[in-house]
Amino acid sequence: MDLLAQVLANGVLLGGLYAVMALGLALAWGVLNIVNLAHGSFIMLGGYAAWYLFTWLHIDPFLGLPLTAAMMFALGYALQRGVLNLIVRAPMFNTLLLTFGLDVVLSYLAQIVFSADFRTINPPYAGSQLNLGAVVLPVARLGAFTAAIVLTVGMWLFLLHTRIGRAIRATAQNLNAARLYGVEPRHLYALTFAIGCALAGASGALYGTVSQINPYIGATLTAKSFAIAIIGGLDNPLGVLVGGLFLGLIESLTALYIGPTWSDVASFGILVLVLIVRPTGLLGRTA
């Protein structure tokens, strides 16, 4: 029983981090209809940004989250206005090709600039833990989980209660009607993609505190984010949170009862099942 409780706790902590990873992908996909295959590379770049901020400037990765997010926001805005906006209304195949090419470029540039060495952000509290009875919670993982929940709920409130958030939701639902109310699509598309990149960068900083970063983690993280966005639903940040927690628990339980090598099989098996039973996701709106 103690082992099961520990595994469930690990699954919840992992799932919270998964959720914020997928949130930026879901936002770009739901509003811009862009399946961003370079999303994992943005997460990777956020991890490296946080690593350099910590190593060179001694900025704690959690305190440096706004700076990491701001750098990735600027990169995302520039890429969308300069590159992706050219094909934002093109067939999805074109966007897949372009973002795949962008992912390859970013991965190779990261290898050249950062080398292929594995790196981890190790603040002084990295080895600390919190004991709750028989359950042990690593402080770094607990901090990453807490920050992920704050970012996810904050994004949900932003979309519901701010003018920009309402404009983003309106554009996702009906572009022509949004234009009639004064929404300027080019700027809003770039802003939406930039927010997605900022979330990816922040999740990369959190990922770097609990795992290793290298230039090749992008593809795996993109696949995980894709699965979570589908499972939770593209039109609801809280759905993405539920999808992340659900996937984290499934992976942890699979690793315990079947074996660690089956975790990814279980994750994408759940994805296929959700696509068959409820294509809009667990909390997505039905037509």
Report all structural domains of the chain as residue ranges with CATH numbers, in order of start: 2-277 (1.10.3470)
CA torsion sign for 268, 272, 277, 280 is: positive
Query: Looking at residue 196, what is its pLDDT?
Result: 94
65: confidence class by pLDDT, cuts 50, 70, 90? very high
* Distance from C-alpha of 41 to C-alpha of 26, rounded to nearest angstrom: 15
Torsion of CA 113, 116, 118, 120, to 10 degrees: 10
- Across the range 106-121, mean pLDDT stands at 92
What is the value of pTM for the model shown?
0.93
Residue 176 has pLDDT above 80, yes or no: no
Q: What is the pLDDT of residues 209-219, one digit of tens each?
A: 999 999 999 99
Residue 287 has pLDDT above 60, yes or no: no
Q: What is the pLDDT of residues 118-142, one digit of tens each?
A: 999 999 888 889 888 788 899 999 9
